[in-house]
């Protein structure tokens, strides 16, 4: 299958940005949310889902749902193996050799205090040390991809999007934190990382749909039809978030209770608005050559 080289290049760039953002470098001041209240993580999850939609959409058309399930399981095994090897390195090398240092102790203290419990929990993806939580999220979304694609084909995008939005709304209520608190007293270590899967699945479902649509239209070299929206409004929204992010608009970012509007881990409403405004503009101006409906 021919690939969208632009999407592959973008995914590689996002990986580089995430590495920079998690290292002590002065470049972080420029690479951390440079376009507004949107980080490289949101874009990476969306682009990864889009690539899954491209690849799995073709397999769904050629080999049916069983072939998509087989491909998803194979890829999930590869990701899980990589995650386990990373955990092994962190526990055995970092934890045992450097765990007495404050930064590493803070990162791995559940394992250092309860090594057996934490190790078993980590294998079950219930315990995810800081910075090691994006792969488990990717793995779980990947395993759900055949089901989501099947629903997209059978029911259409609107019912699937509506269900995805409902899950996102449930995430805003703090269900994840309640569940973690309710299960915290057991034998297993329950620390599932910073990302709220019920919220972030909205980005994955949206990316899958875009990738699937692109794959279905590629044989005819059709352009992507976007909903008709006034581009001056979208540009204005993107500019407001950009100026707000760089403090050119004197509105303080509240990280207390009202901060959920821009919360990264739950994908607050304003952050989601910022992301989709940038996405629409990128598709409208970008190399995929979309056109708006009605034009």
Report the C-alpha gap between 247 and 253 in whole angstroms. Answer: 9
Q: Which domain holds residue 97?
A: 5-222
DSSP 137-158: HHHHHHHHHHHHHHHHHHH-HH
Q: At 226, phi and psi to the nearest 5?
A: -100, 150
H or E segment at 291?
strand 291-292
113 within domain boundaries: yes
Q: What is the pLDDT of residue 293?
A: 41
Q: What is the pLDDT of residue 3?
A: 56
- As beta bridge partners, residue 232 has none
Q: What is the pLDDT of residue 227?
A: 64
The first and second tokens of residue 51, run together, are 């690539």
pLDDT by 10s per residue, the chain, length 295: 455 677 778 888 998 999 899 888 888 888 999 999 999 999 999 999 999 998 898 888 888 899 999 999 999 999 999 999 999 999 999 988 888 888 889 889 999 999 999 999 999 999 999 989 999 999 999 999 999 999 998 988 899 999 999 999 999 999 999 999 888 888 899 999 899 999 999 999 999 999 998 887 765 544 455 666 777 888 899 999 999 999 898 877 765 555 789 999 999 999 999 999 999 888 877 654 444 443 3
- Evaluate whether 269 touches 261 at the Cβ level (below 8 Å): yes
156 within domain boundaries: yes
Q: What is the pTM of this model?
A: 0.89
242 within domain boundaries: no
234 within domain boundaries: no
Q: How many CB atoms lie within 10 A of CB 282?
A: 16
53 within domain boundaries: yes
157 within domain boundaries: yes
- Evaluate whether 102 touches 161 at the Cβ level (below 8 Å): no
How many domains does the chain contain in total?
A: 1
Q: What is the pLDDT of residue 33?
A: 93
26 within domain boundaries: yes
H or E segment at 254?
none
243 within domain boundaries: no
């Amino acid at each position: 299958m021919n690939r969208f080289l632009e999407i592959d290049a973008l995914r590689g760039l996002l990986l580089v940005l995430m590495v920079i953002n998690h290292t002590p470098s002065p470049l972080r001041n420029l690479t951390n949310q440079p376009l507004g209240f949107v980080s490289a993580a949101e874009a990476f999850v969306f682009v990864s889902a889009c690539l899954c939609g491209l690849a799995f959409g073709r397999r769904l058309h050629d080999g049916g749902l069983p072939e998509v399930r087989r491909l998803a399981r194979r890829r999930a095994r590869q990701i899980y193996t990589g995650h386990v090897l990373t955990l092994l390195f962190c526990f055995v090398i970092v934890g045992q050799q450097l765990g007495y240092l404050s930064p590493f102790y803070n990162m791995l203290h559940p394992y250092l205090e309860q090594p057996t419990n934490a190790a078993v929990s980590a294998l079950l993806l219930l315990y995810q040390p800081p910075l090691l939580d994006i792969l488990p999220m990717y793995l779980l979304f990947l395993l759900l991809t055949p089901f989501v694609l099947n629903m997209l084909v059978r029911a259409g995008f609107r019912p699937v999007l509506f269900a995805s939005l409902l899950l996102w709304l449930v995430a805003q209520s703090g269900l994840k934190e309640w569940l973690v608190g309710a299960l915290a007293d057991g034998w297993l270590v329950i620390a599932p990382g910073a990302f709220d899967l019920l919220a972030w699945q909205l980005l994955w479902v949206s990316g899958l749909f875009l990738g699937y649509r692109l794959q279905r239209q590629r044989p005819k070299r059709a352009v992507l039809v976007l909903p008709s929206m006034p581009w001056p409004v979208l540009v204005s929204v993107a500019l407001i978030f950009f100026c707000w992010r760089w403090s050119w608009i004197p509105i303080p970012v509240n990280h207390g209770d009202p901060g959920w509007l821009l919360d990264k881990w739950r994908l607050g409403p304003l952050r989601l608005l910022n992301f989709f405004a940038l996405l629409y503009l990128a598709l409208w101006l970008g190399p995929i050559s979309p056109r708006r409906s009605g034009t």
